[in-house]
Structure 1
Amino acid sequence: MNYELLCSKVIAVTRLTGNFIRKEAMSFDANAIEYKGLNDLVSYVDKNAEKQIVKNLTKILPEAGFITEEETENIKGQTYTWIIDPLDGTTNFIHGIPTYSISIALYENDQPVIGVVYEINRGEMFSAYKGGGAYLNNKPIRVSQNNNLSKCLLATGFPYYQFDKQPQYIQLFTEMMQQCHGLRRIGSAAVDLAYVACGRFDAYFEYNLNSYDVAAGAFIVQQAGGTILNFSGGQEIFETREVLATNSQVTEEILQTIKKYF
């Protein structure tokens, strides 16, 4: 498998769908939304984008299966499986807030080998492939080298359902805000992870995440020299639905704070 060549093909597919989403954003009617659950929104744009991605990726790798957010196609492959979020940041998209992305990962025998995150409005294509490092618009990227938490900028997400953990999460926010330069919530987990990979954020943490939210971004962070863990310090992020992504310099300090509350 030529991962570099395959990654370039995935980038082309991603860019094509990004053009579709960008065009739809110009005339999108916020009334054209559906609710999958409490505050869990979806639109025809998500669904059509996913169908486009699945169709084009099938042409590239016919034997691969799919795990997709909108479940237009959901059959795990024997060797290869694509994990796709066609529009990460749907709520931002619906409200006209310009931070949303496409997230595509390829897993081979349950291990990530390709990750692509496209932040559509800024035209920023983050990518990584096995053994090849991480890139932003084809230029190599690395995580930050900041080892002083007091000078770090962190990212997180807010729970929009399953509020049972909200009280301790707010306590965690309070402590983290007092330890760093700032805490940001921009509304797309895939973009948060990509920003850790290129050094804009020094770390990111969130819970209640799905595999399609983080599969591509987490791999890009790792290929850029970062660390991906769950809130207990383990490797199982899909099973626990928790992610801590860091520049590898401030991992233990942040992890110890998280463990106070989780």
Structure 2
Amino acid sequence: MSETLQSADLVFADADLLDRTVDAVRVAGSALRERFGEVVRYGTREELMRALAVNDDTALDILRPRLAAVRPEAGWVEEELDGGALPSGEWWVVDPAEGNVNHLHGLPEWAVTATLVRENEPVLTVVHLPLTGETYTALAGAGAYLDGRPLRVSETADLGLSIVATSQARPDEDGEVVRRVGSSVTAMLFDALVVRTSVPATLHLANVAAGRTDAFWQFSGARADLLPGALLVTEAGGRISDAEGRPWTLQSKSFLAAAPAVHAQAVATLSR
């Protein structure tokens, strides 16, 4: 069989797998939506972690068996704060409640995500927003979509006219990373039109892919909060790099996703 036919067969298989992933993520999202509403009170870090775990487990009890059934040979990563390269092969990188802390506080910015990674490259992703019913999807080489409608990044060419965003990768971040985040926000406040700061990263990246915002950056980070959006933005025509403009990998210490015409300007601002 020729390499061309082998590639075509793989794309077809991945496209079918994407549909099945959408189904699984939507069911998990429905379960989390039923738990959403009142602010969950906690007085200690231990109480907070238990509350977060209940949401995670609610979604994972649905996602794990469904995704394992359609790709039983793939490994499984569900720790959303883990970073770095994965071992060889295929892996499900899942965030069962992306923006979990928002969910606990009755804030609407949260999602359920699942991404299939092959040899450390994302090949398909699903990001579902249960409160709106929106589902973002991307398949490597086949584009990015919102509920079946193609996504395209912004055509903005001037950082001074751009809405940009950043996010906190994790609580209790290293002090040097915190200082770098602070200085980057200050720099962007001088150079961009508007700077948005909130969690989770995935929703900012969905906005970049949809052309609603023009750039997103983050220092540090984890696989689960960057891989879904990285594929969405790339397939929507955006540029992905680290904050210094070098190729981004899972080992990178920073991340930048931007519309092509403002990418170099964003790199210049973040590199000061």
Q: Provide the alpha-carbon RMSD of the alignment.
A: 2.5
Q: What is the alpha-carbon distance in structure 1 between the residues aligned to residue 52 and residue 156 of structure 2?
A: 38
1:132-160 Cα shifts (integer Å, max 9, x gaps)? 10000111110011011111101101363
2:191–2:269 contact (8 Å) kept in structure 1? no
Q: Corresponding residue for 2:184? A: 172
Q: Distance in 1 between matches of 2:177 and 2:87?
A: 34
Give the equivalent residue in structure 2 for 1:125: 135
Asked whether 1:188 is paired with 2:200, we answer yes
Give 1:26's aligned residue.
37
2:217 equivalent to 1:219: no
Q: Letter of the 1:191 partner, please give it.
A: L
Q: Secondary structure at the match of 1:192?
A: helix
Aligned to 2:4: none
For 2:28, which of 14, 17, 21 is the aligned residue?
17
Letter in 2 for 1:23: E
SS at match of 2:191: coil
Tell me how far 1:30 sits from its aligned partner. Answer: 3.3
Q: Structure 2 vs 1, CA of residues 14 and 32 (structure 1 numbering), >3 Å: closer, same or farther?
A: farther
Secondary structure of the corresponding residue to residue 96 of structure 1: coil
Q: Find out whether 1:6 has 2:49 as its counterpart.
A: no
2:7 matched residue in structure 1: none
Separation (CA, whole Å) in 1 of partners of 2:93 and 2:179: 32
Number of aligned residue pairs: give it: 255
Q: Against the structure 1 CA distance between its residues 70 and 199, is the aligned structure 2 distance closer, same or farther, given a 3 Å change threshold?
A: closer
Alpha-carbon shift at residue 178 of structure 1 (Å): 2.2
2:112 maps to 102
Q: Percent identity?
A: 26
Q: Is the 8 A contact 1:66 1:77 kept in 2?
A: no
8 Å CA contact retained: 1:34, 1:41: no
Structure 1: gaps of 5 or more residues: none
User: What SS does structure 2 have at the residue aligned with 1:154?
Assistant: strand
Range with bigger deviation, 59-68 or 166-175? 166-175
Maintained 8 Å contact 1:69/1:86? no
Give the alignment's TM-score, normalised by structure 2: 0.86
Contact 1:64 / 1:77 at 8 angstroms: preserved in 2? no
Give the partner amino acid of 1:148: D
* Cα shift readout 1:102-121 (whole Å, capped 9, x = no counterpart): 12111123222101111222
Go from structure 1 to structure 2 and tell me whether the alpha carbon gap of 1:140 and 1:192 turns closer, same or farther (over 3 Å shift).
Answer: same
Q: Sort the Cα spacing of 1:240 and 1:122 in 2 relative to 1 into closer, same or farther, 3 A.
A: same
Is contact 1:226–1:246 with CA below 8 Å preserved after alignment? yes
Which amino acid letter does the alignment assign opposite residue 10 of structure 1?
A: T
